[in-house]
């Protein structure tokens, strides 16, 4: 038994890790790949075949499937779970998602208000301006 194996109590010799991080298996990677292909093919079909009449609903379904695909990638490829690194990866993810949401919502809010308040005057408004 080497000094490192003896120091860690043989944990590395059997593939167990003490940090709680899961390291994917071939089956996990194949499952993630198949789910990713399906979650990519469905939006492609929605756009090409146009089974939904409303472009709004098509966009909503595509965005929902994109969120599901992000979760699939985080679980199957990035191996994120609540046990990895004592839960710090999930905490960092929550913080990042919060900052991205604030940035996106704030940007959309500012652009909407700029569009509403900075519209050019029509010819009729220009004639009646004081």
Phi, psi of 75 (to 5 degrees): -80, -50
Give the pLDDT confidence of 102-125 residue by residue, as tens digits.
999 999 999 989 888 886 767 777
pLDDT over threshold 80, residue 11: no
pLDDT of residue 126: 67
Across the chain, mean pLDDT equals 82
- For 38, the 3-state DSSP assignment is helix
Q: Give me the DSSP letters along 42-95.
A: HHHHHHHH--SS-HHHHHHHHHHHHHHHHHHHHHHTS---TTGGGGHHHHHHHH
pLDDT of residue 43: 97
Q: Is the pTM of this model over 0.85?
A: no
The larger pLDDT score, comparing residue 37 to residue 2, is at 37
pLDDT of residue 1: 46
Give the pLDDT confidence of 38-87 residue by residue, as tens digits.
999 999 999 999 999 999 999 999 999 998 999 899 889 988 887 878 87
- At what angle are helices 26-49 and 55-76 packed, to 10 degrees? 170
User: Which residues are within 8 A (CB) of 72 and not within 5 positions of it... i.e. 6 or more apart?
Assistant: 32, 35, 36, 39
Predicted confidence band of residue 130 (pLDDT cuts 50, 70, 90): low
Predicted confidence band of residue 13 (pLDDT cuts 50, 70, 90): very low
**88/107 Cα distance (integer angstroms):** 28
């Amino acid at each position: 038994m080497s000094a490192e194996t003896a120091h860690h109590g043989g944990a590395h010799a059997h593939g167990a890790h003490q940090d709680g991080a899961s390291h994917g298996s071939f089956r996990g990677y194949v499952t993630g790949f198949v789910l990713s292909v399906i979650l990519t093919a469905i939006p492609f079909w929605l756009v090409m075949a146009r089974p939904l009449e409303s472009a709004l609903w098509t966009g909503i379904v595509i965005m929902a499937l994109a969120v599901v695909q992000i979760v699939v990638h985080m679980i199957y490829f990035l191996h994120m779970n609540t046990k990895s690194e004592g839960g710090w990866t999930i905490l960092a993810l929550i913080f990042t998602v919060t900052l991205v949401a604030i940035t996106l919502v704030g940007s959309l809010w500012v652009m909407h208000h700029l569009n509403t308040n900075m519209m050019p005057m029509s010819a009729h408004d220009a004639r009646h301006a004081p």
